[in-house]
Structure 1
Amino acid sequence: MAALNKPTLEMNSMKKSLLASALTLVAFSVTAAVEVTKENYSTAMFDMGMTVEANNGARQDWHHHRAPIALDKQPAPMMNRDTLYSFVIADAQSDIKVTIPEMDGRYVSVQVMNHNHETAQMFYGAGEHIIKADETTDYIAFYARTQMNASSPEDIAKANGFQDQMSFEYVDSSYQPEIYKDGVWDMDSFKKIHQHYVELAGEKGILHTMSDLERGVIVSQEATNRGVSVATGLLPDAHAQYINTDYHLDASKCYVATHDVPPQADTKLGFYSITIYDEDIYLATDEHSIITNSDITLNDDNTFTVYYGNTETCGDVANLLHVPTNEFTTTMRVYLPDVEAMNHYQVGELTEVN
């Protein structure tokens, strides 16, 4: 095998796709209203991201994403195909109870994000969870993530069944909520601020950019702005970490890399995956676009070997990711990581299969 240069772990290639996603956000408002500043940018990003979900039915009730994201309906780059999302955008001026059903051992989490784009609480597994009105902002978003196998219709159907059993209600059943209204932001000022932080995210990455209020982790507004420029609702470091790797290779060839199993704080609740994206950081194929620990074939030494190419160039191999373009990006997602150990973790180096 011929060794290749080790790929960078920086996020520079995300700039062009994230700037393109910023143009999509412009459509949310044509009327100048609140000026976007460094002080309110994270709130503006919350409003813009949640407007989509609210308009799809997530105001005061669960809106479930029932299937892996369709290739022709990707709203942003770097979409996730290892979990199904469920959202509620809620008035939080009265105590709320969220109930998650018993499952079959798969990962499920509920992230409670306040209007300042900070993670106020995280819940794992089945049970009733209470969100106190005096511990958060007037409006909050619930992000539920339910693990699924994107290549298995049967497993997706099981995950949908679990989604249907989620419930949302007020502890005081007589409470009349004030329905969330879409924020109206000045898009000219937004674009300037957004571009600035997208560029910073490309230079510095997104580690240590999400506040985790339950754990007493509060990052600066500057750090928050850098993180939210990439995506709405990123999980804090203790709950998930994301390793983005850019490659510039020949898509007509086959490559291989051996990775260590990423360190996890809880191997029963957490999991990990690798997703492959095209040159614009969008999903390009339905098959072989993601591998997860539930279907990865491990080596005897707690590593796993991944092939990058296609069935013609690599043959019938385990752990295959289809390379869509000469320039591509992979994202390793590690849910419930061992934070300290992840500081020293590196993905394996790709080499060409001769």
Structure 2
Amino acid sequence: MMKTLLSTAVLAAIFSANALAAPTIVTEDNYPQAYTNMRLGAVLEKTGGVNQFFAMPNPSSVPAEQFVVRMNRDTAYSVSVIDMSSGDVTVTVPKTDEYVTIQVVDENHETQPMIYGSGEHKLTAKTDHAFVIVRTLDKQVREGLVIEAGSAKPFTVKEWDMASFHAVDKAGNIDFSNGYDQSKAFGNTESGQTPYMNYVGAAGGWGGAMVEDNIYQTSQYFPADSCYETTFVDPGAEFFWSATVYNADGRMFNDTANISSAMDPVANADGSYTIRFGCDGQANNIPVAEGNTTGKFNVLMRHYGPGEQVSNDADGYNATKLIHKVK
């Protein structure tokens, strides 16, 4: 009898342990935490540990090799996972006159206004660890970044049910492409971020910036078998603007994936710009077919330090709405 009871107890303990060890099912509600947990784990594989920066190489043209959806080549990146639990964290940026920002994204995919410029900057977050990214037009800056943190608590990557993750991820990416509210997707609860838009934002553009720092304008999808163009007035960005082409999965697929005002694009006689998509041999052209196995593409405009008209969604200041097929 004792043996039977013991066996039952052992089996119960094993069952309980297995239940506790089972991967966590991913839903819309916990997707931002799940994806952020995975992304921080992936960053740590690059940095080798917390409180260290890794200078990201130029994103690959192979979709499967890209770190997250809708990456871009507008700036050089350095990324880290920092232990924020001490409340005494600073990042020092070397002297530069070029564009440079620091962005903090916590474990709940809540972000803060960007920090600009050189010098020593104090960082905070609501969670024990945070993803910290430095974006810059001066690649040399990345060699001199310094993190000072009061502790180095290891980060734990959790076990997630990947079947449910991929299903929720796909649905969120579609919702993002169909239209979303950036002010409610990328921010924090104090700024008006909502749980649903946090999910959509994480799925479609994990780590996105708040609207005061970088406004995103996203086009509809177009068949990748024709020539398209958009002509627009200078949007008046404080820093610069860019346009990047993605396939139906939100991935770059060609070495020539973007054009930005920092790249000195060809301007029209009246000061406006015309960007072309799939118009071989023409000025300011981004390929849309070569390397694109999905048969579709869309365009994402980024405004670094958005101008007043862009911030107010003034008519004529959303170039993605002006894209049309060239007859």
Give the shorter-chain TM-score range: 0.7 to 0.9
With structure 1 as the length reference, what TM-score do the two structures score? 0.73
Matches within 5 A, 1:290-301: 290-294=258-262, 295-301=264-270
Contact 2:85 2:151 in 1 (8 A): no
**Which residue is 1:242 aligned to?**
216
**Which residue is 2:312 aligned to?**
341
Matches within 5 A, 1:1-354: 32-57=22-47, 59-66=50-57, 68-72=58-62, 73-94=65-86, 95-105=88-98, 107-132=99-124, 136-147=126-137, 159-170=138-149, 175-213=150-188, 216-249=190-223, 251=225, 254-264=227-237, 267=238, 270-286=239-255, 288-294=256-262, 295-311=264-280, 315=281, 317-324=282-289, 327-338=296-307, 340-342=311-313, 344=315, 345-347=317-319, 348-352=322-326
Instruction: Note the C-alpha offset of 1:61.
Output: 0.4
C-alpha distance in 2, partners of 1:279/1:210?
21
Instruction: Note the C-alpha offset of 1:211.
Output: 4.7
Instruction: Note the C-alpha offset of 1:114.
Output: 1.5
CA pair 120-136 structure 1, distance change in 2 beyond 3 A:
farther
RMSD: 2.7
Instruction: Note the C-alpha offset of 1:109.
Output: 1.0
Q: Which residue identity is paired with 2:300?
A: T
Unpaired runs of 5+ in structure 1?
1-30, 148-158
1:209-267 alpha-carbon deviations (Å, 9 max, x no partner) = 335359x413221221121121320111221122222353573x644431222243xx2
Q: Which residue identity is paired with 1:145?
A: R
C-alpha distance in 2, partners of 1:116/1:240?
20
C-alpha distance in 2, partners of 1:121/1:101?
20
Q: Which residue identity is paired with 2:311?
A: E
Instruction: Note the C-alpha offset of 1:273.
Output: 0.6
SS at match of 2:51: coil
SS at match of 1:90: strand
SS at match of 2:35: helix
Q: How many residues align?
A: 293
Q: Which residue identity is paired with 1:85?
A: Y
Contact 1:90 1:179 in 2 (8 A): no
Q: Which residue identity is paired with 2:46?
A: N
Of residues 181-190 and 113-122 in structure 1, the stretch that sits farther from structure 2 once superposed is 181-190
C-alpha distance in 2, partners of 1:281/1:42?
18
Q: Which residue identity is paired with 1:352?
A: V
CA pair 121-329 structure 1, distance change in 2 beyond 3 A:
closer
With structure 2 as the length reference, what TM-score do the two structures score? 0.79
**Larger Rg: 1 or 2?**
2
CA pair 50-351 structure 1, distance change in 2 beyond 3 A:
same
**Which residue is 2:6 aligned to?**
none
C-alpha distance in 2, partners of 1:46/1:343?
34
C-alpha distance in 1, partners of 2:53/2:83?
13
1:152-172 alpha-carbon deviations (Å, 9 max, x no partner) = xxxxxxx432100111112xx
1:118-149 alpha-carbon deviations (Å, 9 max, x no partner) = 113421111110124xx5221111011123xx
**Which residue is 1:7 aligned to?**
none
Instruction: Note the C-alpha offset of 1:207.
Output: 2.3
Instruction: Note the C-alpha offset of 1:191.
Output: 4.1
Instruction: Note the C-alpha offset of 1:38.
Output: 4.1
C-alpha distance in 2, partners of 1:205/1:336?
20
**Which residue is 2:11 aligned to?**
none
